[in-house]
Structure 1
Amino acid sequence: MDIPITTTEVLRWVGRHLAHYRWQVAGAIVALFIAAGAWLILGQGIKVAVDEGFIDNNPSILNTAVVAVLIICLIASIATYFRFYLMSLLGERISADIRNEVFAHLLTLPPSFFAKTRTGEVISRFTSDTTVLQTVIGSSVSMAVRSVVTFIGAVVLMAITSPILTLCVLLAVPGVLLPLRILAPRVRTYAKESQDKIADLGAHVDQALHEITTVQAFNAQSFEQQLFKQRVGHSLSAAKKRIHFRSQLIGAIMLVSLAAITTIAWIGARQVFADEMSMGELSAFLFYAVLAGGSVATISEVIGDVQRGVGASERLLQLLHTEPSIYSGTQPLLQDTRQPPTIRFEKVTFAYPENPVLFSELSLIINSGEKVALVGPSGAGKTSLFQLLLRFYQPQEGQIKIGSQSIEQVRLTDLRNTIAIVTQEPVIFATTVQENIAYGRPEASLAEIKKAAKAAYADDFIEQLELGYDTQLGERGVRLSGGQRQRIAIARAILANRPILLLDEATSALDARSEKMVQHALNRLMRGRTTIVIAHRLATVKHADRIVVMEKGSIKSSGTHTELLEHDALYREYAELQLLS
């Protein structure tokens, strides 16, 4: 995911999201200008209060000036409220939009992407980076813009009050910009590095907690803790560098700003002594100088946040710029509703990324309504056929057809809507029983869900759960036994009611009684469907119309169980070692 991203791309991307809320942005800008203008006008109130109130000993004007100052403060406070509210809400909305955009894109990426990218790192980019961006848009950018407007307004009013002192201020500006020029790029670099280290930390936590049973079974808690401590140390080291250069930036700008204000105050005092300007004008000038200096100090503080935001945006854009390796076709899948489709693998050559070739010109036909069992040792390529059929991966040569159509030309949604799959390790989501079964058909009624559960012999144990079909199953279905999880997955496939059925030894996790019940359910489910089964049990292959024996990515033989036992030595050996054991 190390795709180079420029600052221009980041600004265009953020700007595109901001454009959706142009009226809210406009309202925030208006509020910002009103607040900044009010604070700038306040300087004139100070000038009148000093010159015409204190110096001229006129209590009436002093009272009027004080009331005016209070009114200005009220206006500035109300405008500040609207600016802060609108910008904070804007940050939340854009953060939500970006999360939706990134998540939607992640769902289009094939399993090959997640096979080489740690989930914890992706989650970190998805959560912490969007939070950083939310803070920058909702707070830091607003403060920076307000400070720039205040600085420009203060300089203009200073120039009107005293051109000579303003010239002195402008001479100090390069001294402020120099630290920004030198240190800000380093802040950005280390901000991105810090976010990368946090992502690495998140990936380790995700892995350790996901495999907590293995960690504890091998008493590896101390080992995992040491690895975590190392990653925390790396994260802290990167954060120290970022904080070091950001602190240098703030300190350098404050030093230059305070030195400039002190020098300007000294020059202004000498002008007052020489009757070249009034005490009120000097007071107003110093007020503007303090506003300008404070604005520069604020900019120096938020520049670090902005750089972190740019770094976070780069990481998010890298995710969004990751191209899916599988693209959807454009043709609808033409189905004959009277009969299930034929599946053809025609001279398919395939290798996983950076791995040797698995299939070389493999050809296989599964006829309409046929039940084909795939058998063979681990690594023979049985599961890979499923992944190619579902277009999780793309063959390097050859083609796969459903009916007369190449699946590369067919819309992905159409293709996958024709296939139901039950894996050896069933996937259970941390939702209710009802939602798990209805995952492939969210619009299904409760009656249909219960009918599917009964067909999978799952209804009895579901009804015994504390809330029945509304029971939360917990992370990865930890509240269920392996056999119960398998029956939930089978009920899901039954409810999906699709013409192609892929079974990755769907009865392997069941006890003998449950296996018999579910086998009956699967036999009913397979009727009228084209079915491919990865088989490890004798009961499975005996019910198949045809058995395909695979080894090292190639098809060695095919036939019925009886035929292969008589004529195929490899199958006979495999049956004796595994199917009959």
Structure 2
Amino acid sequence: MSAPKERYKGSLATLKGLLPFLAPYKKEFMLAGIALLVAAGATLAIPYAFKQMIDLGFGTAGTKGGKHINLYFLALFGVASVLAIATAARFYMVSWLGERVTADLRNAIYRHVVAQSPQFFETTQTGEVLSRLTTDTTLIQTLVGTSISMGLRNALLCIGGLVMLFVTSTKLASLIIVLLAAVVLPIVLFGRRVRKLSRASQDRIADTSALAGEILNAMPTVQAFTHEKLESQRFSTSVESAFATALQRIRARSLLTVVAILLVFGANVFVLWLGAQAVIGGSMTAGELGQFILYATIVAGAIGALSEVIGEAQRAAGATERLLELLAVSSPIRSPSRPQVLPPRAVNGASLALHGVSFHYPSRPHSPALLDISLDIHPGENVAIVGPSGAGKSTLFQLLLRFYDPQRGDILLDDVDIRTLDLHALRDAIGIVPQDTVVFSADAMENIRYGRADASDEEVITAAKLAAAHEFIQKLPQGYRSFLGERGVRLSGGQRQRIAIARALLKNPPLLLLDEATSALDAESERLVQGALEVAMKGRTTLVIAHRLATVQRADRIIVMEHGRIVEIGTHASLTAQGGLYASLAELQFSQDHGAATDTR
């Protein structure tokens, strides 16, 4: 994946990238902030209540002292009740925000990724994207739903506690401030290192996910070549690399925590020893010392918690950086701001024209896939495209669907440049049966309905009948409601092909692209599907890629391609008579077929 032009540097700058996802929930953040302030205020009130209870309650003899004790115990319980309610409200609001913002972020990333052109997936592994959608967004959830709230809470407690320390004893508080200042240095030093290690850790996890996804999607191949042990070792190596990187991050965070806690509590113990000497000397009351101890504990705990929050924020900053990089990737294939509209559909299909089209894949800039292709196809024409592997036949289909744009030349659909059309309008006008059939993890009815989401069950069944798929679907355990398995593993190759053909027929487009549509069918199924396709070709323009020349003999025209160029154009009879590439391919195939038939007899 190509890096975006702007790199997000520094944790604070990186986390600012989340603001667009936080902005819609200002009201909820305000409510959480109010609950946070109330909870922090109640926490800071508890030491003062203890001081009053000690000095005015225990320090006063008789019934009056008993009344003071009862009063301050009731006040203490009241403060605790307020603290409990405010803390629960804060927890609910920030947890809701964490879940909501994470859901929005995942939706935004997924929407962005599915809108990318195939060029994006040439250089990005799907496992890496899945890692960012899961692991990285979970870290953001922790940041928004816990870390921000905990950071603000402990910052308030730290500031409020320091203020009350000065109110209680300026001398002791000054000493604490001087000593606690030493805590800032290790936090700053280790914070940067934790952030770098967090990013590296997430990268290793993404690598592991990508490797696992690739292998799990190719298990039949792995098992056929008995590479289970080898792939397990590769995965184990990747996992151990991720573990080693995570261990470095854990060590850095552990060291940061140890140093911070030791310094904070060491400083507190020393200052409190001085406070105990002041009480013995009579310059401080027992209640004031108790109050000072509680505020010092609050400040120390807040600083310790802040160090933990900073560590979490550093991890989240690394995750945020990766997510923002993904969102910053821009697809080179976009709909124009003011798209043109295709003319009304003609009765006999769409016209298609290519003028001087040349193209190379972005990942192979020095290997042209198409060179100066010019071609005019009339509405309703049935055109076959043949040639050896690597001639550029499937690449031509990808350009027609505008998965890529050619570096030179124009492609016109019904006399409209496809680059001026809305992408959805263009692709809605084209139906395709790809060479690599895709069947989704759903039932047969929904897999065919993928061709047109608003189609009725009757229309789906009609398309299945045209594609010779109705009979085998009916024999499935639940018929059209039978789950076909991930990637259609419960179907044969020919059955998956017929599902894809039914999907294209249901779409009923003016331009139909068939990329080896019958390649995975047996002889009987091919005969049935070929007859159905001939019916479906009526009233539409059809381009057929075929290696088996027997299937294209009745095409209106045959385009012969080699090395990205059109080398011959004509009918089966005229091309055979020319004695060129097509004639050579035909002679080779038909002689093989004749030989195979003879061997069978």
Please say whether Structure 1 and Structure 2 have the same fold, judged by a TM-score greater than 0.5: yes
Note the residue ranges of structure 2 that are not aligned, 5 or more in a row: 593-601
Specify which of 269, 273, 294 is matched with residue 276 of structure 2: 269
CA contact under 8 A between 1:333 and 1:415: conserved in structure 2?
Answer: no
Q: Cα deviations across residues 408-444 of structure 1 (Å, max 9, x unaligned)?
A: 1111111111000001221101011111111121111
Write the distance in 2 (CA, Å) between the matches of 1:123 and 1:456: 35
Matched, 1:361 2:368: no
Matched, 1:430 2:433: no
CA contact under 8 A between 1:557 and 1:568: conserved in structure 2?
Answer: no
Specify which of 484, 489, 492 is matched with residue 500 of structure 2: 489
| Residue identity matched to 1:490 | I
| Residue identity matched to 2:375 | L
CA contact under 8 A between 2:554 and 2:572: conserved in structure 1?
Answer: no
Q: What is residue 54 of structure 1 aligned with on the other side?
A: 58
CA contact under 8 A between 1:50 and 1:279: conserved in structure 2?
Answer: yes
Matched, 1:508 2:519: yes
Matched, 1:14 2:18: yes
Q: How much has 1:336 moved relative to structure 2? A: 3.5
Q: How much has 1:539 moved relative to structure 2? A: 3.4
Q: Cα deviations across residues 484-521 of structure 1 (Å, max 9, x unaligned)?
A: 11111111011101000000010111111111111111
CA contact under 8 A between 2:46 and 2:76: conserved in structure 1?
Answer: yes
CA contact under 8 A between 2:122 and 2:363: conserved in structure 1?
Answer: no
CA contact under 8 A between 1:449 and 1:495: conserved in structure 2?
Answer: yes
Name the CA shift for 1:578/1:302 in 2 (closer, same or farther; >3 Å).
Answer: farther
Specify which of 331, 338, 346 is matched with residue 338 of structure 1: 346
Write the distance in 1 (CA, Å) between the matches of 2:324 and 2:457: 42
The residue correspondences of 1:113-512 to structure 2 (distance < 5 A) are 113-329=120-336, 330-339=338-347, 340-355=349-364, 356-512=367-523
Q: Cα deviations across residues 304-343 of structure 1 (Å, max 9, x unaligned)?
A: 1111111111111111001102121232332232342211
Q: Cα deviations across residues 497-550 of structure 1 (Å, max 9, x unaligned)?
A: 100000001011111111111111111111111111101223321121110110
SS of alignment partner, residue 132 of structure 2: helix
Q: How much has 1:354 moved relative to structure 2? A: 4.0
Write the distance in 1 (CA, Å) between the matches of 2:363 and 2:507: 35
Write the distance in 2 (CA, Å) between the matches of 1:575 and 1:498: 31
Write the distance in 1 (CA, Å) between the matches of 2:279 and 2:374: 97
For normalisation by structure 1, the TM-score amounts to 0.98
Write the distance in 1 (CA, Å) between the matches of 2:59 and 2:204: 61
Write the distance in 2 (CA, Å) between the matches of 1:258 and 1:35: 24
SS of alignment partner, residue 406 of structure 2: coil
Q: CA RMSD in A?
A: 1.3
Name the CA shift for 1:558/1:68 in 2 (closer, same or farther; >3 Å).
Answer: same
Q: How much has 1:574 moved relative to structure 2? A: 1.1
Matched, 1:80 2:80: no
Name the CA shift for 1:580/1:365 in 2 (closer, same or farther; >3 Å).
Answer: farther
Write the distance in 2 (CA, Å) between the matches of 1:568 and 1:403: 34
CA contact under 8 A between 2:180 and 2:267: conserved in structure 1?
Answer: no
Name the CA shift for 1:8/1:167 in 2 (closer, same or farther; >3 Å).
Answer: closer
SS of alignment partner, residue 368 of structure 2: coil
Write the distance in 2 (CA, Å) between the matches of 1:263 and 1:93: 45
Write the distance in 2 (CA, Å) between the matches of 1:123 and 1:277: 61
Q: How much has 1:270 moved relative to structure 2? A: 1.7
Write the distance in 2 (CA, Å) between the matches of 1:9 and 1:362: 49
SS of alignment partner, residue 131 of structure 2: helix
| Residue identity matched to 2:555 | A
SS of alignment partner, residue 331 of structure 1: coil
Write the distance in 1 (CA, Å) between the matches of 2:104 and 2:306: 27
Q: How much has 1:467 moved relative to structure 2? A: 1.5
CA contact under 8 A between 1:204 and 1:228: conserved in structure 2?
Answer: yes
SS of alignment partner, residue 552 of structure 2: helix
Q: Cα deviations across residues 235-275 of structure 1 (Å, max 9, x unaligned)?
A: 01110111011111111110110111101101111221222
**Number of positions where the alignment pairs a residue of Structure 1 with one of Structure 2:** 581
Which piece of structure 1 moves more, 346-355 or 503-512?
346-355
CA contact under 8 A between 2:360 and 2:407: conserved in structure 1?
Answer: yes
Note the residue ranges of structure 1 that are not aligned, 5 or more in a row: none
Write the distance in 1 (CA, Å) between the matches of 2:192 and 2:76: 41
CA contact under 8 A between 2:39 and 2:83: conserved in structure 1?
Answer: yes
Q: How much has 1:49 moved relative to structure 2? A: 1.4
Q: What is residue 573 of structure 1 aligned with on the other side?
A: 584
Q: What is residue 598 of structure 2 aligned with on the other side?
A: none
Q: Cα deviations across residues 203-256 of structure 1 (Å, max 9, x unaligned)?
A: 010011000001000010111011111101110111011101111111111011
CA contact under 8 A between 1:536 and 1:579: conserved in structure 2?
Answer: no
Which piece of structure 1 moves more, 10-19 or 220-229?
10-19
